[in-house]
Structures are given as C-alpha cells and as structure tokens.
Structure 1
C-alpha cells in the first residue's frame, strides 16, 4: 500500500499535529529525501519525537523507513501529488485540467476503497438485499445521491421508501420493522434531525447505515454500519467534486454486488429497463 495513499485515507482521524505532518509530507513528498526527522520537526515547529511517533503510527519502524517508502512511491508515481504525465493536444486547452481532475478523483476513490473493507461492503449489501424495506434520506445536496440510489434499488425490485424531508421521514419510520434498513446520507453527519431519525429507527430494531465523510460525527454514533468517503483538496470548488465522485463509485460497487448476488433482482432490473423503454417509445 502506498504510504501517501495511507496518509490521505487516515488524515481525518489524525490529531492536529499529525495532520500538519501529513499535509507537509503530501505537499513535499518529492523533496522529503532532503529532510531529516529533526529538520522536518524544525520546519513544522514541533518535536522530533512527534515525527517519530507519526511514522510508527503508520506502521513504520521510524522516520527513515517512512521516508524511504515515500521516496519509492514517488519514483513509481504511486499515490503522490506528482500528476501523471500525458501528451496534451495543442488544440485542447482543457486537457491538462481534465488530466489533473481525473488524477484527483482516482486518488479519492482509492483512498475511499481503503477505508471501506470488503467485509463491510459485503455486509451492507447483504443487509439491503435481505431487507423488507429500505428507507433512504438525504437533505440538501446529500439528497442528490440519495435519490439516485433509491431509484436504482427500486429498479431492482427492492421496496424503497425515499424522503427528502426530515419531518416526513420521522413519520415514515413508524412503519419500520425488524430487518428493515435506513440509509442516511449526510456528508458531515451533523444534522440533529437525521440523528433523531436514526435513533427512532433503531428503536424499531431496524439497521441504520450512515453515509458520510471519514470523520468522527454524531450520525456515525447512531449507525450500525457506516459507508465512509475520503476526499480532500484545499480548493473549495474541487473538494465537493472529489467527494461526489468517490461516493458514487462506492454506491456503484454496492449496486453491482446487489445485481450479481441475486439473479431475480437482475431479471427485475432488465424487465424494468424494457418497460421504461416501451414507455419512451410509445
């Protein structure tokens, strides 16, 4: 596993000092060979022991081991900030921008995959597959992926209850039964209304699955399982794009598992597609 990719995926769980070290390593990976642990500590205004502990927390024997591993990753172009070199057509002024964006999206997807182990994904897909009803809610911008996923589940013949209003969902969960699933989409997981809905749903012995960033948040505390997204960029107009891309890829993976794990579901999907096409053609 690339050490740079590991640092990216675990950054949200780090302390303030650890994040400073992480950001420095990510931004200066190609220059790290010139820094000793003491020089790095001096540059950040922290103790040398903090650098050593940071390295060991990532699973390395010490800073020299971490520095060597990062140097190898940079040489391979594996997870670093050096963008993939490619030919840029002279008549395409957007080629470099597109390449840069694609590279950032790929990093976000890879980091997101690392923090969602296969066994967790399989368990969540199985819970949705076996649920009597799947409740889905997302407020504001979170409602966009929530609605799209609800539509896909419906196309598979899964009984889906989708709301964009917290008050209506709070009333809707009164019909929840044991074994039902609630998917709560919230990037930052801080809406008190969604936490309240999750608590009520669990009281009815339903399973709550939160969908949020890889950060400690109240919503995750009310969930039985969590789908986590890791997507970071200092530019405010870029970071949401990375989040949406990584989240979509994660949801697509679960959708494919649902299709591949049940022939009847896939047949229902084919039937619904054909019926929709007939309506469009008529």
Structure 2
C-alpha cells in the first residue's frame, strides 16, 4: 500500500492519519472526512491535503482506492453482510441505514465541487434542448429527472429505448445538452451515443459512480456518486439516496438560476393539480 511506503517521509499529523488508516482500513468505508478528522482531533482540510499529497483528487478517491485494496486482499470482515443478531432491532437497523445514507451523501457532496455543479446548471439552463438517457434502473432516475426539467418549461427529449435514442440524435444541434445516467459508466450503447452527440456539437454530462469509467472519462462534465457498502442491497440504496440528493440540488439551482423557469414550474404544477382534481 502506498501509504505504508510513504509513511517515513510524512509529517507528524500525516503519520497519525496514515497509521489510523493502516490500522482501520476495513472500517474506513464508515468514515467521512469530517468523522476521520474528528476521530484524530485534526482539521478536515488536513485529511483532504493528505489525500491529495498521495496523488488522489480528494478523500473520496482515497477511500475508494483503499476499499478496493481491502476487497482484493480479502481482509474485510464485512465482505459479506452479517446475519442480523437478536439484539438488532428495528431502530438499530434503521439508524445504521440512516447514518450510512448521510455519510454517502456527504461524500458525494465533497466529490462534486461547487464550481462543477454550477457549471453543469449553467450548461443545462442555456441548452436549447436537453436529452436525458439511461437504461435499466438508470432509466428510472433519468425519466424522473426529465419530467422535472419539463416542468421547468425546458424542451426535454427522453427515451429508454436505445434505438429511439439513436433516432433522436437527428434532432440534436450545437449547444444542446445530454444527461447520461449510467451507474458504472460502461454500457457501450450509451458511450457510443454520447460520442455521436458530441460530434454534432452537443455537450455531454455523465452521472455515474465515483470511479474511472469510459463514459465519465469522455464526458464534457460529470456528476459522481459515492455509495459503498459490502452488502449489495444496501449499496444500491445508498446509490439511490445519493443520486436523488444530488439531483435535488441541481434542480433547485436551476429554479433559482432562471426566474422565468421558476414561474413556469408554478404554472405547470397548477395545471397538473387541476387535471387531477377534474
């Protein structure tokens, strides 16, 4: 592990961080940068600088890398979800899930710099058309967000069928934006679609896990999700929670960025209410 090889060249504070990580690598998934800083009695910025000194973009990247190393080594005692103990009642399970969601959302927020999010909001707000694509489970999130954009009065193109998605590219023009939802960013259909969209002058925003993947690497901008847990069903819940939280932020910023769109949202919601009541 790089931390161990670099330890002798670290400052006193850096060695404290390194020793904690080396001794508790299998538990690091439960620690946000703030929680790690609090446990060591140091500032959160010290944890971030430590991560960057090792060559990582930030703490989420460091934690993800360590998690992969632990999994490969087979040293994670939580690699399989433990069977619930008799003492684990409803409140304890619910509290653990709530804490895990909060930690995942915090890590997601730290992994998406404010400037990046604001640039994506500006890109979406200024686009003549917004194409929104996703397949499988990603398609559910894409559909819901496409509906939100439509309520703001944006011209939104959404399909969950790859053939229809490809056909819709004929309507793409320079300046249009495409949001591509793909948890792992490895689906060749979406990668090909995004490249063709860029060739037509459009800008692609990828929404994936915080990992190296082809879709994210070639996108013009990206939103990343941090949601790690050894239990697959919990990891999926954390991903959904983090994704919803991040999309909510983008949506609210879009509302504030353009008063006309905010007004249109009110008009559309009122029309929907009348339709339901009639």
Judging changes above 3 Å, is the alpha-carbon distance between structure 1 residues 275 and 218 closer, same or farther for their aligned structure 2 residues? same
Deviations 1:184-208 (A, max 9, x none): 0000000111010001000011000
Q: Corresponding residue for 1:224?
A: 220
Q: Corresponding residue for 2:249?
A: 253
Scaled by the length of structure 1, the TM-score of the pair is 0.73
**Any conservation in 2 of the 1:150–1:160 contact (CA below 8 Å)?**
yes
**Any conservation in 1 of the 2:117–2:250 contact (CA below 8 Å)?**
yes
**Any conservation in 2 of the 1:133–1:160 contact (CA below 8 Å)?**
yes
Report how far residue 64 of structure 1 moved.
2.6
Report how far residue 265 of structure 1 moved.
0.6
Deviations 1:73-110 (A, max 9, x none): 2378x99xxxxxxxxxxxx9421111111100000000
Deviations 1:14-58 (A, max 9, x none): xxx46xx7xxxxxxxxxxxxxxxxxxxxxxxxxx425558xx6xx
Residue 121 of structure 1 is aligned with which of 113, 117, 123? Answer: 117
Runs of 4+ in 1 over 6 A off after TM superposition: 68-71
Task: Give the number of aligned pairs.
Answer: 221
Q: What secondary structure does 1:122 align onto?
A: helix
Structure 2: which 5+ runs fail to align? Answer: 21-33, 45-58, 60-87
Q: Corresponding residue for 1:278?
A: 274
Q: Is 1:148 equivalent to 2:144 in the alignment?
A: yes
Q: CA–CA distance in 1 between the matches of 2:151 and 2:246?
A: 18
**Any conservation in 1 of the 2:227–2:242 contact (CA below 8 Å)?**
yes
Structure 1: which 5+ runs fail to align? Answer: 1-16, 22-47, 80-91
Residue 64 of structure 1 is aligned with which of 16, 21, 27? Answer: 16
Q: Corresponding residue for 1:197?
A: 193
Q: Corresponding residue for 1:29?
A: none
**Any conservation in 2 of the 1:108–1:230 contact (CA below 8 Å)?**
yes
Q: Is 1:73 equivalent to 2:29 in the alignment?
A: no
**Any conservation in 1 of the 2:127–2:175 contact (CA below 8 Å)?**
yes
Structural RMSD (CA): 2.5
Scaled by the length of structure 2, the TM-score of the pair is 0.74
Report how far residue 222 of structure 1 moved.
2.4
Please give the residue correspondences for 1:95-244 in structure 2 after superposition, counting only pairs within 5 Å.
95-244=91-240
Q: Corresponding residue for 2:76?
A: none
Report how far residue 65 of structure 1 moved.
5.0
